[in-house]
Each structure stands twice: as C-alpha cells, then as structure tokens.
C-alpha cells in the first residue's frame, strides 16, 4: 500500500513548484521517470498525468491545437491519423446496434471522461489513495457544477451532460467558483478562476511533510496545472505575435 511507504529522497529531490503562470521546473515525462526510479506511486501518478493528455486529445480532436503542439506523457500519438491512441479502458464497449445508437447520442468526449474517472476511481481504490479519491470527487463535482450552470443558461437538461455524477464529492460547495467563473471578464480569466481553485484545493490536501504518496500525487496534480498554463500562455503569445505583424 502506498500509504506505508515514505519518499523522503524523491520529495527532497523534486524542484519547488511556483504559482500558476510560472515555468514548470521539469517535464511530465521526467517527473514520471523519477517516480518510477524511486519506486513511487506510479499507478496513481500515471492516471493523474493521463488527465492532461486527455485534455490535449480533446483539443486535438476539436482542431483547437496542432499535432506538433501535443505534449503527451501517457498516451501515444498516431501521427498517420493525427490523433492520440486511447487505451482499451477509455473506449466504449458496444455490443448491440441499440447500444451504439444510444452512445452516439452522447458526446463522445463526455463518454471518454466518464470512463476515465471510473478508471481513476478503480486505481484509487486499488492503490488505497485517499488523495486520488478526493481529487476525483472534487474534479467531477466541479465539472458537473459548470455543466449545470451552462445548461441553465441554455435552458437544457443538465442530466444529459453530467459525467460520472456518482463520483462527485457532494459535500463541496461550488457556488462561489461558478459565480467567479461566470463573472470573469474573458474566457482566459474564466479558465484561470477554475485552475486557481484546483491549485488551492491541492494546497489544502497537500499532506505536507508526511513524505507519503499523497505529497507526490499532489505534486503531479499541480505540475499538470503549470504545464497547462505554460501551453496556454505560449499560445496566447504566439497569437499576439501574429496579430502584431
């Protein structure tokens, strides 16, 4: 069980993470290699890193980014088809034509995320990871709170778009986060509201100086946010450079 292990050396070797917007001190791949070499909580770290891969996969499928902008740690990229290769547990299990039609009615991206969170919950249980379980509850709850807010604005039924609602932490109130998000002056600021809420949540669940798996998992979750914002700010700078020429 991860909770019985202590990782003083690994945690002392990992560079400090600054606030959102700062340059990530190491790549996701380098971090994963260090966890692996130190016999750390590889399974839980991999499933956390996969969430960032899936966000990039989603952006690639929506043609929001190009293939050369992809920075994957877990997924592989099929360059011939210009898409990431998903593991079997993220693929839909279709057995009848009726099920296929039912699944087609649901956004494929939502289906992938639901299967991802279900897999993450399985990994958390197998690894006895309290942090990963709590992270799933927070992340699912936040996502579904945003879905509900969007659905109300568009006068749609939110239940049709919720992802794995049974995994959400129902004790957390998201009203203030959603209010700040909806009141943001632009989409970039709205995204920052959400990711700063994620960062602050990680700070609360940091398990500081326990030298256990929790600290490494928190480090992974925060490192992902830094890499996400490095991509966002880099893309914004490129757009500004193009518009100024």
Tell me, yes or no, whether 109 lies in a domain. yes
pLDDT beneath 70, residues of the chain: 1-4, 79-83, 94-107, 207-209, 237-245
Tell me, yes or no, whether 8 lies in a domain. no
Structural domain that includes position 184: 40-244
Tell me, yes or no, whether 86 lies in a domain. yes
Q: What percent of the chain has a predicted confidence (pLDDT) above 70?
A: 86
Residue 6, phi-psi category: left (phi > 0), alpha (psi -120 to 50), beta (remainder): beta
Q: Which helix (H) or strand (E) holds 77?
A: strand 76-78
Contact assessment for residue 177 and residue 142, using Cβ atoms and an 8 Å cutoff: yes
DSSP 166: G
Q: Residue 202 and residue 215: Cα distance in Å, rounded? A: 10
Q: pLDDT tens digits for 23-79?
A: 999 999 999 999 999 999 999 999 999 999 999 998 988 888 888 888 999 998 876
Tell me, yes or no, whether 25 lies in a domain. no
Overall number of domains in the chain: 1
Tell me, yes or no, whether 73 lies in a domain. yes
Tell me, yes or no, whether 170 lies in a domain. yes
pLDDT computed for residue 215 by the predictor: 94
Tell me, yes or no, whether 16 lies in a domain. no
Tell me, yes or no, whether 132 lies in a domain. yes
pLDDT computed for residue 63 by the predictor: 84
Separation of CA 167 from chain center: 15
CA angle 212, 217, 220 (to 5 degrees): 140
């Amino acid at each position: 069980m991860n909770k019985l292990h202590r990782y003083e050396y690994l945690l002392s070797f990992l560079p400090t993470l600054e606030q959102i917007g700062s340059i990530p001190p190491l790549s996701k791949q380098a971090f994963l290699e260090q966890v692996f070499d130190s016999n750390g909580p590889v399974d839980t770290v991999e499933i956390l890193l996969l969430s960032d891969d899936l966000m990039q996969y989603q952006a690639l499928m929506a043609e929001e980014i190009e293939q050369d902008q992809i920075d994957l740690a877990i997924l592989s990229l099929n360059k011939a088809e210009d898409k990431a290769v998903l593991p079997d547990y993220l693929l839909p299990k279709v057995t009848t034509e009726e099920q296929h039609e039912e699944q087609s009615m649901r956004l494929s991206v939502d289906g992938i995320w639901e299967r991802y969170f279900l897999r993450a919950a399985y990994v958390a249980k197998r690894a006895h990871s309290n942090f990963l379980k709590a992270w799933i509850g927070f992340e699912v709850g936040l996502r579904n709170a945003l879905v509900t807010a969007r659905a109300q604005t568009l006068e749609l039924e939110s239940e049709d778009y919720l992802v794995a609602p049974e995994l959400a932490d129902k004790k957390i109130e998201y009203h203030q986060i959603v209010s700040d998000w909806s009141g943001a002056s632009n989409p970039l600021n709205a995204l920052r509201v959400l990711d700063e809420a994620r960062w602050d949540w990680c700070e609360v669940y940091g398990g500081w100086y326990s030298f256990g798996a929790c600290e490494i998992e928190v480090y992974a979750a925060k490192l992902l946010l830094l890499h996400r914002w490095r991509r966002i700010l880099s893309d914004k700078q490129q757009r500004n450079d193009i518009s100024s020429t």
